[in-house]
Amino acid sequence: MDTGSRKILIGNVLESNMDKTVVVQVAKRFAHPVYKKLVTKTRKYYAHDELNKCRFGDVVRIIESKPISKLKRWRVLDIEKSATQI
């Protein structure tokens, strides 16, 4: 699949209760501009899961897409690591 200029993120599934929707938490680590200490910021993304395959604890890859609903702007590309494998 050609991703073009679409962003791809990797994160953990926090919720999979909704139909065809998962909430993915993505952590970003960077050095603080003044203190140079490593800081972790997290953000939640709503992603479209067409086959309802994702479960809580899965590590998934999500890709940008056109708006699917009010909050969903991402699609699940694939499951990197299943929660049962961890």
Model confidence pLDDT, tens digit, residues 52-74: 999 999 999 999 999 999 999 99
- The CATH class given to the 8-81 domain equals mainly beta
Domain residue ranges of the chain, discontinuous segments joined by +: 8-81
Residue 1: pLDDT above 70?
Answer: no
pTM listed for this prediction: 0.88
CB 28 within 8 A of CB 40: yes
pLDDT tens digits, 7-22: 999 999 999 999 999 9
Q: Cα separation of 63 and 13, whole Å? A: 14
Percent of the chain whose predicted confidence (pLDDT) is above 70: 94
Mean pLDDT of 31-48: 98
Residue 8's alpha-carbon distances to 19, 21, 39, in angstroms, are 22, 17, 21
